[in-house]
Structure 1
């Protein structure tokens, strides 16, 4: 059965291309230095069961198989063409493939969009032919493809084991590195590999969807340099990760680089951190280092998930137990608090010097009886407070380190661990000093499908991925994004007016947008004259009493008000307002004599609290993205922010508040009250709905928002208008 049948709307067309019944090798060769030769050898050696059609106008036979002068001369029915010829020949060959009914083509050649204007033109011509003739393109500039369960090896890699890890990598060398690592590991095997190349047609989202449907793939692993359509990838990832794990190593930052800093949010968006947050939001397991790709993929493929992040550590050495504890804490995992009953059971079998708190240190109890480690694992696995079990030390090497006579007991311990792995749903992860030399007990665990690692760090990364996946599946199940809101005609008209005038929303207009959608915004007045200033002073005396006021310039030409001297704070009384008005006008005219000043915004000062920022950017790769973090003037320096793709679920919004490093400040420190996190979550969800309702909103910055124990105050608001998008609301043009 298709692993995600009924979850994705239609079957991926890539099944016919990546598991074809016939392959044309265009540019097939008898020269061992040519890719057309290596591809032929790979198909023949691996025993490809379909038809092979070498295409070479200068040869009758290639490696014992009849060759054909052109693609259109092929008599059979190939579904895939591997094109090994130079870039200039590709457009015409694609047209030939289309006329022959070939559904997909792999383009190995470079010399397309990655090389400059001429290459861009050639790639466009190739795609025009492909679209006209219904041919899907892998590449160009791809390292190739294999599908080992169908014995398709178009890279001619030797000694690559078939297995259940699907690989999509923009680096051919990274694939080679993973293949060599898998050979050394001896347990990991691969299903399908594709090098996406330039992604001129088929992109990461298409390949991931195929791996999600592929019955031979249990876990997908991707090396990504840049997404072509990040938003579509996130949509597919959400579907696939609901059914099977997806591991991504993302090199560098977002492909199109960091966006020009038109706002605080714009300055921080486009970052590697943003990409990681969005991938994790979709359930993807993101690894930070390239040597974690295969271990994490293996661990997730074998163990799938943990119920939570509480880990029980069992060690035969105090030093390594300490190292493991440090790494677990750094990874956001917890040392499980063992129950009194569990600790008593451990005391019953261990020597008095052993420590039965977590981490459990057997303290020599196992020197003569290494199988006791398996008993300890079984005891802690039965504790309801434990989500995963982590064995750390020298298991497998007791018969090497102490006495050969211990081999039998170690093997009994290994069998007990295998039995435990079948009896429990809790992941068992093992780190052993002796992993590199593969002693018999560890080989037995490998054969049974238990993951064995040669470093504590890799083991912890696997445990973290298992915990993250378990929590994601538990929290995301059945939780749809918040309901969208309809745009209000008056606000659509406001956007249309700003577009027509070639400006962004004024601050008071931005706050009106928020207020009209239920966000709590303090009273504010725009004053354009001395008379209006006097009226404002009187009104605030009646509503805010002696609360000090703030005054800010309103100008389409002055974006950063403080830099221009356009902000005055803590103003009390009419005379203070008069003086502040004069000083702001003088400062702003000196800053920019040509600036058009709309007026001055007067509002009560917000009371003391925690400054946070809420921002939105429409990222060129991922679409609308919401940001939350510590606010004020230090936001771009500290960069303590979290990102999520819009629309948000309530869990997305809650996790943003809990993700930032400064969350302890939100919970109250040094006698300060905890802020109302629920109100912040509601604010994030409302902003998400506003962004969906108004496509003309390009960027939004609420900075700072002052969070209190009983709510929040939006102190400053900026909305940047996309002048390329017209309002669709009829009343906006009335």
Structure 2
């Protein structure tokens, strides 16, 4: 268990700077823990007090009877560095720092980060509103403890967080799995907390309020990992210059370019909203219901006005109408005034049609017993139960817009309790339709079950060949040129290799069965020209990789001609236990995990399949050829991908194969880096004896 996960479920919490004064944060945190059903040990720390709120107080960390899983520091920032050392000395690895740096204390945040790194402590904060784990009764935020549920909230604003918690408390069936205030992200940040909630079994979906992030690339990578399995809804601040200035004054964070941030977040699977009030309902509907990638919706209303407004909103939000033999929106025109069951019958009829992927109900439903006659309550209840049954039977989503509030409304509360979204805003209702369709299309483009199964299988079986071995095997099948590669095992080969490859710039890559990601250990050198430079670069490469990986088996250096510049693609082949052999193609290079702009197809494929995959990419213009006189050579690429796919299908021992990057330009393409994972077998042919010599 990671230190952060252990702290999230802390059984012992130290409150450093605990106080008997109600206005002090150290008092509020102790009180919140006592009143939030926390069953663990609370250790108030104060240099002089004997008790605080009836609990024995301790003068320092060294006096505690057991090691706290988590500590909260409520003292001024200048005292925190020494207190971090105390926490580390006594085994506490995660610390919440409440204090805010004053303008003359900005240097202290760097000092805190240095002390934390040096002593192996992780910081939540500084300037944090705290954290909440309702399932464990942990409340370090001083806010009312929300109902325990399945939605996680990570926010850079305590006020935004409080508004969402108050919103959730309006409905008994709406609850949070946890809350973390990121504060100034002196150490831990959004990426770390997403990793926590991705692993947290209580979390079904997450909400983020983001002002600025530190390591943007790592953040996007973690968003991509999260959205493969769980929905994520994000509100990004900083659309205007005034908002950017407010962000910088609030947390010292850089808000960045809103348009770029929002687009990249969408690219890696986050659904981006515009208002804090949208976070909770969108996250709720995505956690309870699933839409369809096609996204054809039927609207059922009991008033023409609402139908017209919804129609306009659906056009504005790009939500598609289902094409049926009846009107859409369909107006019940008073038929439900004395029999609300008509709604349920209508919804059942539509959801059982193959051309309908979901239904929006708008109007008086849930209020007929209030507007017309109390005796209709029983009929509305029966209709609500029937709607829930139809939703479950068909697996298609239902959204209800009602003029009547949910609070103290047994009919609407019954719908919400079963996962049906009920809202009073038509705009929000249509946004929920859009969110469900958007999420379904993203999952269809980036299948979670596929990615998860592939990765689980890949890490549990087989071993990676060196790139020299992989290239040799592909060369034997005439899928790569065997003449465009050499394995260099001593500097004296430099002249021979330069003669064989031609006098052209070369790329050098370390070859070791223990090193898969060569660039991560400095195992790549580019643009090396001439025998003398090649010999010198060979020695440098072995020396620096050996210093980083002293135990690695270094088998030599792969030498290949430098490839002509072009757009970077990734082409992968994977053997999945559930879906069989699969082709992956998309934007490659270092962007493959950040953008997650890839498409999947089951093998075998034909050239048109490859073209369709390229057309599916968000950044297809880069692949096709952007702002250049000639388009990229997609014909040659498509033919090669099909040939490799056909060969891969015949290889029983290969679990996974990846070409990343494949550089494509108007004159052709070049697979620059190759990886193959093969099964462990004792009877497979041994490597060819000439693999340690220059290829013919």
Q: Confirm or deny a common fold (TM above 0.5).
A: yes
Equivalent pairs, count: 510
The C-alpha deviation readout for 1:476-523, integer Å capped at 9, x for no partner, is 124799x999999638799799xxxxxxxxxxxxxxx9966599xxxx
Looking at structure 2, the residues matched to 304 and 59 of structure 1 have their Cα atoms a distance apart, in angstroms, of 55
Q: Is the 8 A contact 1:276 1:286 kept in 2?
A: yes
SS at match of 1:175: helix
The two structures, once aligned, show a CA RMSD in angstroms of: 4.0
Task: Determine whether 1:77 maps to 2:67.
Answer: yes
Tell me if 1:654 matches 2:615.
yes
Which residue of the other structure, out of 406, 419, 423, is the alignment partner of 1:449? 419
Q: CA deviation at 1:368?
A: 1.8
Question: 1-side partners of 2:11 and 2:418: how far apart?
Answer: 34
Trace 1:131-530 onto structure 2 (pairs within 5 A).
Answer: 131-158=117-144, 160-252=146-238, 271-338=257-324, 343=325, 356-435=326-405, 438-477=408-447, 478=450, 490=505, 517=566
Please state whether the residue corresponding to 2:135 is helix, strand or coil. helix
Partners of 1:187 and 1:682 lie apart in 2 by 53
Task: Say if 1:143 and 1:172, in contact at 8 Å, map to a contact too.
Answer: yes
Larger RCO, structure (CA 8 Å, separation 6 or more): 1
Give 1:693 deviation, angstroms.
8.5
Q: Partners of 1:36 and 1:439 in 2: how far apart? A: 40
Compared CA separation, residues 645 and 654, structure 1 to 2 (3 A):
farther
CA distance in 2, matches of 1:54, 1:319: 60
Hey, what's the Cα distance between the residues in 2 that align with 1:157 and 1:270?
30
* Counterpart position of 1:95: 85
1:58 aligned residue (48, 53, 74): 48
Matched-pair contact (CA < 8 Å) for 2:290–2:395: no
Paired with 1:100 and 1:403, the residues of 2 have a C-alpha distance of 68
For residues 378 and 19 of structure 1, the distance between their equivalents in structure 2, rounded to whole angstroms, comes to 44
Question: C-alpha separation between the residues in 2 aligned to 1:400 and 1:680?
Answer: 66
**Contact persistence 1:245–1:304 (CA under 8 A):** no
Q: CA deviation at 1:225?
A: 0.7
1:45 aligns with 2:35: yes
Q: CA deviation at 1:690?
A: 12
Distance (whole Å) between structure 2 residues aligned to residue 313 and residue 375 of structure 1: 14
Structure 1 residue 124, shift from structure 2 partner: 2.2
Alpha carbons of structure 1 residues 70 and 13: separation in structure 2 relative to 1, 3 Å = closer
3-state SS, counterpart of residue 119 of structure 1: helix
2:267 and 2:595 in contact (8 A); partners too: no
Query: What secondary structure, in the 3-state scheme, does the structure 1 residue paired with 2:87 have?
Result: helix
Structure 1 residues 202 and 159, CA gap change in structure 2 (3 angstroms) = closer
- Cα displacement (A) at 1:297: 0.9
1:384 aligns to what SS in structure 2? coil
Which of 100, 105, 112 in structure 1 is aligned with 2:95?
A: 105
Q: Deviations over 1:100-152 (max 9, x none)?
A: 101110000001xxx55x53421222222222222111011111111110000
Q: Counterparts of 1:224 and 1:654 in 2: how far apart (Å)?
A: 32
- Return the TM-score normalized by structure 2: 0.66
Which deviates the most, 452-461 or 86-95? 452-461
1:85 Cα shift?
A: 0.3
- Rounded to whole Å, the distance in 1 between the matches of 2:597 and 2:214 is 22
Cα distance in 2 for residues equivalent to 1:314 and 1:417? 13
Flag the structure with larger Rg: 1
SS in 2 for 1:58: coil
CA contact (8 A) 1:307 1:426 kept: no
Does the 8 Å contact 1:680/1:712 carry over to 2? no
SS at match of 2:96: strand
Whether the aligned pair in 2 keeps the contact of 1:305 and 1:469 (CA below 8 Å) is yes
Change beyond 3 A, Cα 1:416–1:658: farther
